[in-house]
Amino acid sequence: MQVFNRFYTAISLGNLYLNISYQLHRLRLLYLFIGYFGIHMLHGFR
């Protein structure tokens, strides 16, 4: 049971890491999109 417990903990940590990295990646894409859109808006106003 100890080995199974350790295995489960490793899987949980890996899952958490993937989830966090996925969230960060989505945020980065959102920031890139907002920045790109903002630059185009600024150029349009000038």
**How many domains is the chain partitioned into structurally?**
1
Nearest to 16 by CA among 24, 6, 4, 27: 24
pLDDT given for residue 46 in this prediction = 65
pLDDT given for residue 17 in this prediction = 95
Burial label for 2, CB within 10 Å (0-12, 13-18, 19+), is: exposed
pLDDT given for residue 12 in this prediction = 97
Note down the domain range covering 5.
1-46
Rounded to whole angstroms, how far apart are CA atoms 6 and 29?
35
pLDDT tens track of the chain, all 46 residues? 788 899 999 999 999 999 999 999 999 999 999 999 999 888 887 6
